Amino acid sequence: MIKVVIIDDEPLARSMVSEYLQQYQEVKVVQECGDGFEGLKAIQQQQPDLIFLDIQMPKINGFEMLELLEQPPAVIFTTAFDAYAIKAFDIHAIDYLLKPFSKDRFDQAMQKWMEQYKTGTGQEQVKKMLEQVPTSPAYQHRIVVKVGGKIRIIPVHDIQYLEAADDYVKINTAEGYFLKTKTMNYFEQSMDPHQFVRTHRSFIVNVQLITRIDPYEKDGHLAILKTGGKIPVSKTGYAKLKQVLGL
Amino acid sequence: MLISGFVKGTVLHTSPFSVNKLRLAFIAFWFIWTALQAVVVQRLGFDWSISIADGITFNTILAIACFLVSNNLRYYLPQQDRYWYILLWSIGFSAVSIFTGRWVLMRFFGDHPFYATFLVDSLLIRSAVAFLMIGCMATISVLWYTVQERQENEQRKTDAERLAREAELFNLRQQLQPHFLFNSLNSINALIGSRPDEARLMIQQLADFLRGTLKKDDQQWASLSDELKHLQLYLEIEKVRFGHRLLTEVTIAADTEGLTIPSLLLQPIVENAIKFGLYDMTDSICIRIQTRKSVGQLVIEVQNPYDPATATAAGGTGFGLNSIQRRLYLLFGRNDLLLTKAGSNLFTTTIIIPQQND
């Protein structure tokens, strides 16, 4: 039996998918979810073989939901008009259904998934896309992390600085730090460069919190934050900082 | 001078001589000045015939010089720092005028014993007068053409602004969200199999809504009751899409129904509130719409629930209110007609529409 979870905030859109699935006798829709939180829980509990996932949903979008999963299941994305997401799918050769979709098109997507299901290649593509593509078209205004079993949404203005830590990035806030499996490059590119400056290979700092920049050793500087934190600034980082701060 | 004027791309202005009133003034001035000069010469002891000929000759030549100077400036207006051009022209033209005048009068009255000496003796004062007059004419012309140039620039600027504003207003009005359209079609697709009657109803509503949007594209104003009918169609469609999650409550004050509102302004505000509410909350939400009349203005309040903790991360004021703000500014020249208030868990968007007939 193949377990399927459908995640979409519109009930009729979900019923459309389950209707098309009725013909597939080996497939069972184990749960339907109206938002990403529910979806996340359902995926963890049900361990589905395939999910149908909408992009625009309440609270967290489809990408953000997938990011929170250590082993995301195989996905068929369904979307009406998310130019941004569609571009990401095309770049990473990921199949998606544009609403409204025909039964033929749906069958085609299922066919493709079946083939990948045997070889297990589909999940890899999705994983790769999530690593490279920011979760929203504009500069990130929030970062979604998982702490223990709970999901935290961190508004970016709460972030003091980011620090590289092996395979993770440490997100430092007033409440302490959160870890996220992403690269420094990913954050550097997806955050507003007027607010967050990569001052060092291992540091990205929220410039609004900088109170002072002191010289430090040869060629280097230290950015002193309101909170008392000291962030290393390299030679190129100093040039970037000066530009953003208009010095 | 003439060629360089064209090369510099100077616009051809209307000359002060082409205005009737001014032309008459110039002619009157010529008569008065000629008469004055004739009287002065006559009183110095010359015949009337000589005096009048003296006045007419010099003043006609001066008039021609003035005309030439003014006409020249029509084609070539010196820039701010080149006013010495005018000075040089004035000197040159007055010198030429005086010598021409002298030459003409010498031919006719050269054998008159006193007049010839008088003519030579008075050349200096005549030159001074000629210089003053041509200088005045040049100054008047420069002012005249500068004002014209400024008016033309102003006109061009307002024309360009008006065109840009019309184009922008047109764009701001026709903002049909493709996301809405495709999702609605998807809902219809789902309904066709299970509930064909509802599918048919929704197609009808969607068609009416789209027709309304197209019809309203070419009109700037609509009555509030028309806009509310249009909004109702939109809300019905959205309710089918989102099912029980979306509730609405519309309260219309009786005295506001006849008021006017820029067409297609209300629907995007409500659309924004729905998106904001639905994407920020996981429970069902209620959108409240209220209208009231206040000191001759139509006030509409749209409320949606939101989560202050995550909404601040979304930028606070919601998604698409910028185009509404811009449109109100283009229509009324005011930036205070769209207000937003973030309460503890309700977000309120208020628009104020000044009424034209009040």
Q: Is residue A28 part of a domain?
A: yes
Q: State yes or no: pLDDT of A208 exceeds 50.
A: yes
Same domain, yes or no: A172 and A101 = no
Helix, coil or strand: residue B331: helix
| Lookup: tokens for B78 | 């010196």
Percent of chain B with pLDDT over 90: 37
Same domain, yes or no: A103 and A64 = yes
CATH 3.30.565.10 in chain B, residues? Answer: 174-354
Is the CB of B346 inside 8 Å of chain A's CB atoms?
no
Same domain, yes or no: A193 and A237 = yes
Confidence of residue A28 (pLDDT cuts 50, 70, 90): very high
The amino acid occupying position B235 is: L
Q: Which of A9-23, B155-169, B189-203, B218-232 has the lowest mean pLDDT?
A: B155-169
Write down the pLDDT at residue B324.
83
Same domain, yes or no: A8 and A98 = yes
CATH assignment at residue A87 = 3.40.50.2300
Residue A182 sits at φ, ψ, to 5 deg, of: -145, 170
Same domain, yes or no: A56 and A146 = no
Q: Is residue A137 part of a domain?
A: no
Q: State yes or no: pLDDT of A119 exceeds 90.
A: no
| Lookup: tokens for B219 | 């009109």
Is the CB of B86 inside 8 Å of chain A's CB atoms?
no
CA distance A122 to A192: 32
| Residue B120 buriedness (CB in 10 A; 0-12 / 13-18 / 19+) | exposed
Same domain, yes or no: A86 and A181 = no
Interval A196-216 mean pLDDT:
91
Same domain, yes or no: A153 and A34 = no
Write down the pLDDT at residue A220.
86
Write down the pLDDT at residue B358.
47
Winning range, highest mean pLDDT, from A63-72, B150-159, B194-203: B194-203
CATH architecture of B174-354: 2-Layer Sandwich (3.30)
pLDDT single digits (tens) B294-305: 988 999 999 999
Q: Is residue A83 part of a domain?
A: yes
In the sheet where A159-165 sits, what is the strand order? A176-180, A168-173, A159-165, A203-206, A196-200
- The pairing of beta strand B338-342 with beta strand A27-33: unpaired
Q: State yes or no: pLDDT of A14 exceeds 50.
A: yes
Averaged pLDDT of chain B: 85
Query: Measured between CB atoms, which of B182, B245, B312 is closest to A80?
Result: B182
Q: Is residue A204 part of a domain?
A: yes
Q: State yes or no: pLDDT of B166 exceeds 90.
A: no
CA distance B127 to B124: 5
Select from A132, A164, A196 the last residue of a domain: A132
Chain B partners within 8 Å of A98 (Cβ)? 182
**A6, A12, A54: best mutation site toward chain B, by most B Cβ within 10 Å?**
A12
CATH assignment at residue A172 = 2.40.50.1020
Same domain, yes or no: A32 and A116 = yes
Indicate yes or no: CB of A155 within 8 angstroms of CB of B193: no
Confidence of residue B318 (pLDDT cuts 50, 70, 90): very low
Q: How many domains does chain A have?
A: 2
Same domain, yes or no: A122 and A52 = yes
Is the CB of B261 inside 8 Å of chain A's CB atoms?
no
Chain A partners within 8 Å of B322 (Cβ)? none
Indicate yes or no: CB of B310 within 8 angstroms of CB of A153: yes
The amino acid occupying position A177 is: Y
Confidence of residue B12 (pLDDT cuts 50, 70, 90): low
Going through chain A in order, the beta strands assigned E by DSSP cover 2-7, 27-33, 50-54, 74-79, 96-98, 142-147, 150-155, 159-165, 168-173, 176-180, 196-200, 203-206, 210-216, 220-225, 230-233
A193 vs B14: which has the higher pLDDT: A193
Residue A111 sits at φ, ψ, to 5 deg, of: -55, -50
Chain B partners within 8 Å of A141 (Cβ)? 313-315
Is the CB of B282 inside 8 Å of chain A's CB atoms?
yes
Please name the residue of chain A whose CA is at the shortest distance from the CA of residue B276: A58
Chain A partners within 8 Å of B310 (Cβ)? 59, 142, 153, 155
End-to-end CA distance of chain B: 57
CA distance A102 to A109: 11
Query: Measured between CB atoms, which of A10, A35, A56 is closest to B282?
Result: A35
pLDDT single digits (tens) B92-121: 989 999 999 989 988 888 888 888 888 888
Write down the pLDDT at residue B174.
60
Please name the residue of chain B whose CA is at the shortest distance from the CA of residue A81: B179
Å between B229 CA and nearest CA of chain A: 24
Å between A100 CA and nearest CA of chain B: 4
B275 vs B10: which has the higher pLDDT: B275
Select from A109, A132, A155 the last residue of a domain: A132
Same domain, yes or no: A225 and A110 = no
Indicate yes or no: CB of B185 within 8 angstroms of CB of A10: no
Domain that holds residue A176: 142-245
Confidence of residue B320 (pLDDT cuts 50, 70, 90): low
> Measuring CA to CA, which residue among B261, B278, B271 is closest to residue B351?
B261
Indicate yes or no: CB of B186 within 8 angstroms of CB of A12: yes
Select from A71, A103, A132 the last residue of a domain: A132
| Lookup: tokens for B156 | 């061009």
Write down the pLDDT at residue B173.
63
Please name the residue of chain A whose CA is at the shortest distance from the CA of residue B178: A81
| Lookup: tokens for B294 | 């206040």
Cα→Cα distances A131→A161, A189, A210, B235, B315, Å = 20, 12, 30, 38, 25
Confidence of residue B172 (pLDDT cuts 50, 70, 90): low
Write down the pLDDT at residue B216.
67
Chain A partners within 8 Å of B280 (Cβ)? 58-59
Q: Is residue A52 part of a domain?
A: yes
Chain B partners within 8 Å of A144 (Cβ)? none
> Measuring CA to CA, which residue among B350, B347, B291, B345 is closest to residue B324?
B350
CA distance A58 to A33: 11
Indicate yes or no: CB of B194 within 8 angstroms of CB of A141: no
Please name the residue of chain B whose CA is at the shortest distance from the CA of residue A13: B187
Write down the pLDDT at residue B4.
38
Q: State yes or no: pLDDT of A8 exceeds 90.
A: yes
Residue pointed to by tokens 């064209």: B6
Interval B249-263 mean pLDDT:
91
Confidence of residue B326 (pLDDT cuts 50, 70, 90): confident
Is the CB of B241 inside 8 Å of chain A's CB atoms?
yes
Same domain, yes or no: A116 and A150 = no
B111 vs A14: which has the higher pLDDT: A14
A88 vs A45: which has the higher pLDDT: A45
Same domain, yes or no: A113 and A149 = no
Write down the pLDDT at residue B30.
93
Is the CB of B188 inside 8 Å of chain A's CB atoms?
yes
Please name the residue of chain A whose CA is at the shortest distance from the CA of residue B244: A11
CA distance A103 to A166: 46
**Which stretches of chain A sit within 8 Å of chain B by CB?**
9-13, 15-16, 19, 34-35, 37-38, 56-59, 80-82, 98-101, 141-142, 153-157
Indicate yes or no: CB of A12 within 8 angstroms of CB of B281: no
Indicate yes or no: CB of A16 within 8 angstroms of CB of B189: yes
Is the CB of B179 inside 8 Å of chain A's CB atoms?
yes
